[in-house]
C-alpha cells in the first residue's frame, strides 16, 4: 500500500482572529493602518510550515464574514456573533495576499464557508493518495475525518486521530453533525432541540447511531434506560423539523465549486520580488520584510 501524502488544510479565519486579538494594535503601516492581524498571521504561516515541513497546503478563507448559503436556509445562523471590527475587516484581504506571497494556495467563496472549501478539497484529493491534516480548532471539521487523518489544533499543539474524537466530544467523528443537530451549537447559533444537551445527544447516538436511526426507532425511547426518556421522546417529536434543519446547518458541504489540481497545492518558493511588492503596498518596515524572507 502506498503511503498517503499529507495535505494541510488550514481554516485561516480562526488564526487571523487569534492574531488580531493577541497582537498589539500599535503594529501599523507607515500610513498608520492597523497590521497586527497581518503580522500575527504571518508568524502563524511561517511557524506552520517550519513545524510541518509539508509540501502540500490549502489555506481556506471566509470571504464573507457575515453571510453564507446557510443564512438562506436559516437567517439566524451565526447572528449571535458580534461583527468583526472594521480594523480587522480591512486586514482579511491582506492576509489572503500574504498567504499567496508566501507560496500557499488560497481558497475563498462568497457563498461557501471555509469549512465547506476544506471539505471539498479533502473529497477531491483523497482519491489521489492524500491524507488530510486539518489545521483548525473548529470541532465541526472533525466530521470530515477518515482513518489516517489528523485534527491539529495548532495553537494548543493538540493532534487528534479519528479514534480520539469520541473521547474528546463524546461521539464518533461520523456522528458530529447529528450531535449538533440534537444539542445545537451556541457558537454558530444552530438551534438543535431545546432541552436536549450534549450528554443526552451523545447517549441517544450511542444507542441509535444517527439522527435517522433515532427517528426510525422513536418508539423505543419511552421504555429505554435514558434518564427522562418520556420527556426526550416528546421533545424529539415536537422538534423533529428543527433537528433536521440543524443537521443541514451543521453538515459541511463537500461539493463547493472550486478547482484544486494537485500541482496548485504544492508549496511554492518565496520570491523576493513578491515580498518586496507586498511590503511596499502595505507599508511595512524592514523587520517584517526580513521576517518573511527569513533574514535575521
CA–CA separation, 160 and 117 (whole Å): 21
> Burial level of 272, CB count in 10 A (0-12/13-18/19+)?
exposed
Alpha-carbon distances of 53 from 48, 100, 131, 289, 291, rounded to whole Å: 8, 17, 15, 22, 18
Task: Please name which of 93, 64, 97, 59 lies closest in space to residue 81, comparing C-alpha atoms.
Answer: 64
Superfamily of domain 5-169+253-292 in CATH is 5'-nuclease (3.40.50.1010)
Q: Edge-to-edge strands of the sheet including 56-62?
A: 105-109, 56-62, 5-11, 130-135, 150-153, 158-161
> What was the pLDDT predicted at 295?
65
Looking at the chain, which residues constitute the CATH 3.40.50.1010 domain(s)?
5-169+253-292
> What was the pLDDT predicted at 82?
86
Task: Give Cα 25 distance to the centre of its chain.
Answer: 25
> What was the pLDDT predicted at 258?
96
> What was the pLDDT predicted at 296?
41
Give, for 56, the enclosing helix (H) or strand (E): strand 56-62
> What was the pLDDT predicted at 2?
62
Task: Please name which of 214, 250, 208 lies closest in space to residue 235, comparing C-alpha atoms.
Answer: 214
Looking at residue 92, the DSSP 8-state letter turns out to be H
> What was the pLDDT predicted at 248?
98
> What was the pLDDT predicted at 64?
77
Query: Are 34 and 85 spatial neighbours (Cβ–Cβ below 8 Å)?
Result: no
Residue 24 CA neighbour count, 13 Å, CB half: 3
Query: Are 117 and 107 spatial neighbours (Cβ–Cβ below 8 Å)?
Result: yes
CA–CA separation, 82 and 198 (whole Å): 25
Looking at the chain, which residues constitute the CATH 1.10.150.20 domain(s)?
173-250
Query: Are 15 and 98 spatial neighbours (Cβ–Cβ below 8 Å)?
Result: no
pLDDT along the chain (296 residues), means of 10: 87 96 93 95 97 97 86 93 87 96 96 97 97 96 96 96 95 97 96 96 97 97 92 97 98 97 97 96 92 77
Contacts of 230 by beta carbon, 8 Å cutoff, 6+ apart: 222
Superfamily of domain 173-250 in CATH is 5' to 3' exonuclease, C-terminal subdomain (1.10.150.20)
Query: Are 47 and 55 spatial neighbours (Cβ–Cβ below 8 Å)?
Result: no
Amino acid at each position: 500500500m502506498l503511503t498517503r501524502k499529507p495535505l494541510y488544510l488550514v481554516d485561516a479565519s480562526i488564526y487571523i482572529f487569534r492574531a488580531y486579538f493577541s497582537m498589539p494594535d500599535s503594529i501599523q503601516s507607515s500610513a498608520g493602518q492597523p497590521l497586527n492581524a497581518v503580522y500575527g498571521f504571518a508568524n502563524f504561516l511561517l511557524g506552520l510550515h517550519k513545524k510541518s515541513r509539508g509540501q502540500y497546503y490549502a489555506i481556506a478563507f471566509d470571504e464573507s464574514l457575515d453571510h453564507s448559503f446557510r443564512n438562506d436556509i436559516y437567517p439566524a445562523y451565526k447572528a449571535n456573533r458580534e461583527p468583526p471590527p472594521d480594523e480587522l475587516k480591512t486586514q482579511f484581504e491582506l492576509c489572503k495576499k500574504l498567504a499567496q506571497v508566501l507560496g500557499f494556495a488560497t481558497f475563498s467563496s462568497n457563498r461557501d464557508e471555509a469549512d465547506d472549501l476544506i471539505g471539498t478539497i479533502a473529497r477531491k484529493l483523497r482519491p489521489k493518495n492524500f491524507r488530510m491534516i486539518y489545521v483548525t480548532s473548529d470541532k465541526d471539521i472533525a466530521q470530515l475525518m477518515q482513518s489516517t487523518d489528523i485534527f491539529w489544533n495548532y495553537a494548543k499543539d493538540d493532534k487528534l486521530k479519528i479514534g480520539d474524537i469520541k473521547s474528546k466530544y463524546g461521539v464518533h467523528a461520523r456522528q458530529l453533525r447529528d450531535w449538533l443537530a440534537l444539542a445545537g451549537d451556541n457558537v454558530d447559533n444552530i438551534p438543535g432541540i431545546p432541552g436536549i444537551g450534549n450528554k443526552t445527544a451523545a447517549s441517544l447516538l450511542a444507542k441509535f447511531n444517527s439522527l435517522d436511526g433515532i427517528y426510525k426507532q422513536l418508539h423505543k425511547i419511552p421504555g429505554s434506560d435514558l434518564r427522562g426518556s418520556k420527556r426526550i421522546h416528546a421533545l424529539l417529536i415536537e422538534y423533529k423539523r428543527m433537528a433536521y434543519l440543524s443537521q443541514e446547518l451543521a453538515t459541511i458541504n463537500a461539493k463547493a465549486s472550486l478547482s484544486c489540481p494537485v500541482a496548485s497545492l504544492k508549496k511554492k518558493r518565496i520570491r523576493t520580488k513578491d515580498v518586496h511588492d507586498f511590503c511596499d503596498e502595505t507599508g511595512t518596515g524592514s523587520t517584517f520584510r526580513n521576517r518573511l524572507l527569513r533574514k535575521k
